[in-house]
Amino acid sequence: MKLNRGANSCDLMGTMMMRLLSCRWMYCALGVAAFFWCGRSSHAGVYSLEVIVDSLPFGGPGNTTFNGFNGFGNPSINNDGDVAFWATASGTGKGIYKYSATTNDVSTVVPYSTLQATDIIGLAHVEMNNAGNVVHAGKRTDLYSLGGLGIQIPIETHFIYVNDTMLVRTNNNIYAGTPIDGLLLSSVSSASINDSDVIAFAATGGFGSGVFTQFDKLAATGDIIDGHVINSVSLDVVPSIDNQGNVAFVANFDGSSQGVFLQNQLLMQSGDIIDGHVLDEFRNVRLTTSGQLVVLATTTANFQGIFTPANALIVTAPGTTIDGEPIISIRDNFNQVGLAYNDNGDLFFNADTTGTNSSGIFTLDDMLIHSGDIFQGYSIVGQNLFPDVNDDGVMVFAAKSLDPESFIIRATSVPEVSSGMLVLSGAIALFFWRMSRPRNLLLQP
């Protein structure tokens, strides 16, 4: 079933109201309930969590194709509600798999046994666009013999694929690399993809380091952007591309500064002051499909913060308390996208706390899940719960339990009844109650 936020619950509410209003004794009860409910503060958001894929034998709900998965990478969700992820599956081995929100089943995008790559780079970051195409960076290690010396050395080759099509291969003594703008690459980062199937990634080579698409070099060592000389581009922060082709990336420039760039503009830099915080190091960047940007950065006072280029601080750690949990640090892993952000401003992130719960996934208002939660009978381990969100606000993340089992969990916001609606319901109920009272005594002469 495709995700359709709120439609079913509204239909159900309407049916219930009609039935309740047919019962005379409920009129007064509805009015009283509405009166007392309106005195309560509105909760910012409620989410329904459900497992859509798991590692249990014979697969999870509806997963009829596989005999179970052995762990998951961090998933990616598109606007159809489909979810792509890296996993090792019984029978088919390592590969990229996709959960369908339409059929509630899992299919194979590509098994790594059919590719030159034999494993994935980094922490299994994949990204899927709204066309359903998945970008993933893989690697393999081969032994290379040093001529006549009887010595073999390991050489690692990197690849970037969209589904099963290889777009990029690094160059070494074993494999010929893919030239981009005449440059050969020696290593690559994980990649992002937009809805036109253009990918963005960072790479190193004889030229130094730079940021690329499969077609062009966008910036590299020695280039000048916005009057600043690029020294190096970070491979630890995955570049992010929007649907207009803008690419956000982190680079060192002008000798000792670090900044967040587009290919033609410096957006933020170390030393910038936002809400009293002096920015120091940039750890994560995320562009939405329309080009809205959020950044995870550290400050000179050893704080972490989630910022926008418009001089806005969203979250600081330590310093922010969400759902009663004081945030002490925001989790990120290099070569991993740690912030989930969409065009509607929905933000999800993984953070450590000083409260009862050591870590969890947060919105700006709520803690959705935390380490130690008992979810469907399993005790959740909170490490590396990096989320992704689509433009409908539907979020997915991978989790582990102590048992050990692994899951991909989907979080969907549940519409809440507004105070205004409850007041109106109460007023209608009281009106009909008054109208339904016996009036025959008033009609007697």
How far apart are the C-alpha atoms of 313 and 48, rounded to whole Å? 28
Q: Which residue would you say has higher pLDDT here, 71 or 308? A: 308
Q: Measure Cα distances from 248 to 159, 183, 204, 294, 309 in Å.
A: 21, 21, 17, 10, 12
* pTM attached to this predicted model: 0.81
- Three-class secondary structure of residue 12 per DSSP: helix
Average confidence score pLDDT of the chain: 81
Rounded distance between C-alpha atoms, residue 137 and residue 168, angstroms: 9
| Residue predicted with more confidence, 173 or 122 | 173
pLDDT in tens, 209-244: 999 999 999 999 999 999 999 999 999 899 999 999
* Mean pLDDT of the region 126-141: 96
Q: Report d(CA 212, CA 214) in Å as an integer.
A: 7
CA distances from residue 244 to 40, 239, 352, 381 in whole angstroms, order as listed: 44, 14, 35, 38
Cβ pair 180, 202 in contact under 8 A = no
pLDDT band at residue 319 using 50, 70 and 90 as cut-offs: confident
Q: What are the backbone angles phi and psi of residue 175, rounded to the nearest 5°?
A: -120, 145
How far is residue 286's CA from residue 269's CA, in Å, rounded to a whole number? 16
pLDDT digits (tens, 9 = 90+) for 288-316: 999 999 999 999 998 889 998 876 888 88
Torsion of CA 20, 24, 28, 31, to 10 degrees: 40
Distance of CA 359 to the CA centre of its chain: 17
Share of the chain above pLDDT 90, in %: 51
SS3 content of the chain, % helix, strand, coil (to 5): 10, 45, 40
Q: Residue 5 — pLDDT band, cuts 50, 70, 90? A: very low
Under the banding of pLDDT at 50, 70 and 90, the label for residue 373 is confident
- Rg of the chain on CA atoms, in Å: 26
User: Does the CA dihedral 41-44-48-49 come out positive or negative?
Assistant: negative
CB–CB of 304/350 below 8 Å?
no
d(CA 389, CA 410): 10
pLDDT of 71 over the 90 cut:
no
344 — pLDDT class (breaks 50, 70, 90): very high
* CA distance linking residue 200 with residue 217, whole number of Å: 10
Given this model, what pLDDT does residue 7 score? Answer: 36
